[in-house]
């Protein structure tokens, strides 16, 4: 019955405080997927704004408890589809950028709500966006329509918060006018700028049928080197310093050939995260994650691997953020 009340948005799930941040985030992904399933079937139980609002508040609680574990949980999640994981990651990133921008709590919650729902308009055309073929001009037009469709869905379910709606409406707009409708600079609110950056970065980190996953360092390099005029520069710098070049959950080959996972960004150093080794040089899993000294050159990062590689030592992953 409690589960039904939570799903209907009539009660707040209260057990995320009793589980690890890593596990708590995985539970939130499942809740968001249920909301998406309801929207897709046009049979939303309860009040959508409350269901999304409670989810946003739970996400904020977990990110506040441990932002690295929250990021890693989504980064390493291989069990759900693109739209749900992309939206959750956008929520984590947007929240951290909102904190750096000194937004008040009400605005931070509304921004996370926007991030969780910004691509609702893609749900009905998921097959189209998940196809391996490149899109023709007619299909691209349909995909572009998803922003307006997201807004229409939110309004239909009674969401009228202008902050939430603006962030969704402008998530494909860029400062240089190269976005969907060509809005530029001053037309774009801070919440819209945060959403656009959180959206682009989160999209790059997930693989698509037509392209490989883009590693975080390449994603940040691309945003910084090629698209600096698109994004708000202080926000982009804040993103880079917050998560680093190998953000939490990045699976790495160290110079001593161990496979390791990035656990935390080292403050002030972009490319030397705190790492925990999961396997020895021959690929045999350790009994416990082995934390390595990031300052010792033999534990430096030799190569970034696909996160799917961690499956061999999957039982160790969650412990990397629970040993403190």
Return residues touching Fe ion (CB under 5 A): 119, 199
User: How remote is the C-alpha of 142 from its chain's centroid?
Assistant: 24
| 322 C-beta neighbours (distance < 10 Å), count | 13
The β-bridge partners of 291 are: 276
Q: Which residue has the tokens 């951290």?
A: 96
What CA–CA distances, in Å, run from 249 to 3, 22, 234, 317? 29, 11, 24, 9
Q: Which is nearer to Fe ion, 68 or 199 (CB)?
A: 199
Smallest distance, Å, CB 116 to Fe ion?
Answer: 11
Smallest distance, Å, CB 121 to Fe ion?
Answer: 8
Smallest distance, Å, CB 196 to Fe ion?
Answer: 10
Rg (C-alpha) for the chain, rounded Å, is: 19
Q: Which is nearer to Fe ion, 21 or 120 (CB)?
A: 120
Smallest distance, Å, CB 275 to Fe ion?
Answer: 30
Q: Is 289 helix (H, G, I), strand (E, B) or coil?
A: strand
Q: Which is nearer to Fe ion, 119 or 232 (CB)?
A: 119
Contact between 123 and 40 under an 8 Å Cβ cutoff? The reply is: yes
Smallest distance, Å, CB 23 to Fe ion?
Answer: 25
Give 214's contacts (C-beta < 8 A, 6+ positions apart). 204, 205, 222
Q: Which is nearer to Fe ion, 107 or 199 (CB)?
A: 199
Q: Which is nearer to Fe ion, 69 or 89 (CB)?
A: 89
Smallest distance, Å, CB 198 to Fe ion?
Answer: 9
Q: Which is nearer to Fe ion, 94 or 278 (CB)?
A: 94
Q: What is the 3-state secondary structure (H, E, C) of 16-70?
A: HHHCCHHHHHHHHHHHHHHHHHHHHCCCCCCCHHHHHHHHHHHHHHHHHHCHHHH
d(CA 71, CA 294): 20
């Amino acid at each position: 019955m409690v589960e039904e009340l939570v799903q209907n948005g009539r009660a707040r799930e209260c057990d995320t405080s009793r589980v690890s941040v890593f596990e708590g985030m995985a539970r939130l992904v499942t809740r968001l997927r249920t909301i998406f399933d309801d929207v897709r079937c046009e049979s939303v139980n309860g009040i959508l704004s409350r269901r999304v609002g409670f989810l946003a508040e739970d996400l904020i609680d977990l990110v506040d408890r441990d932002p690295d574990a929250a990021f890693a949980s989504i980064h390493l999640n291989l069990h759900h589809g693109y739209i749900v994981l992309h939206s959750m990651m956008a929520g984590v990133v947007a929240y951290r950028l909102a904190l750096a921008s000194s937004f008040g709590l009400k605005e931070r919650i509304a921004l996370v709500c926007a991030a969780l729902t910004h691509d609702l308009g893609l749900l009905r055309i998921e097959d189209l966006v998940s196809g391996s073929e490149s899109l023709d001009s007619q299909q691209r037009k349909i995909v572009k329509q998803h922003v307006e469709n997201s807004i229409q869905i939110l309004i239909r379910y009674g969401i009228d918060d202008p902050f939430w709606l603006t962030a969704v409406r402008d998530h494909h707009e860029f400062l240089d006018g190269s976005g969907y409708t060509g809005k530029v600079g001053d037309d774009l609110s801070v919440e819209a700028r945060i959403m656009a950056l959180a959206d682009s970065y989160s999209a790059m980190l997930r693989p698509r049928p037509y392209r490989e996953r883009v590693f975080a360092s390449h994603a940040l390099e691309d945003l910084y080197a090629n698209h600096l005029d698109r994004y708000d520069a202080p926000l982009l710098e804040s993103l880079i310093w917050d998560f680093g070049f190998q953000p939490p959950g990045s699976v790495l080959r160290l110079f001593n050939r161990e496979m390791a996972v990035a656990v935390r960004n080292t403050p002030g150093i972009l490319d030397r995260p705190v790492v925990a080794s999961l396997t020895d040089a021959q690929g045999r899993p350790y009994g416990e994650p082995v934390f390595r000294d990031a300052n010792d050159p033999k534990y430096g990062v030799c190569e970034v691997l696909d996160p799917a590689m961690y499956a061999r030592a999957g039982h160790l992953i969650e412990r990397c953020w629970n040993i403190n």
